[in-house]
Amino acid sequence: SKYTWVDKDTCIACGACGATAPDIYDYDDEGLAEVIFDGDNNRGVMAIPDDMFEDMQDACDGCPTDSIHIEDAPFNKEA
Ligand code: F3S
């Protein structure tokens, strides 16, 4: 399985990830990205389906600040 998490401390609200993978990433009130898939709430705990891996990787590769993180295990971040 794959899990993803956005580091809001380094996100510059460029807006690319939500355009690339709108089912996984959206923005908070400040325009900072967060993982919204299946209610993840940017905790990095929801397994991303295989058929979304390509969009997820494209978003990761396209982030100018490398703020999108992908791992094989849950991140278990605080909401
Ligand atoms: Fe932020 Fe990177 Fe998305 S800067 S808005 S996480 S593409």
Question: What value of ipTM does the predicted structure carry?
Answer: 0.99
Of the candidates 45, 41, 47, the residue with the CA atom closest to the CA atom of residue 25? 41
Q: Determine if ligand 1 sits within 6 Å of the CB of residue 67.
A: yes
70 lines ligand 1 (CB under 6 A): no
User: Hey, whose CA ends up nearest to atom 2 of ligand 1?
Assistant: 63
- Segment 10-69, tens digit of pLDDT: 999 999 999 999 999 999 999 999 999 999 999 999 999 999 999 999 999 999 999 999
Ligand 1 atom closest to Cα of 27? 5
Q: Whose CA is nearest to atom 7 of ligand 1?
A: 63
CA distances from 55 to 9, 37, 42 (A): 23, 13, 17
pLDDT confidence of residue 12: 98
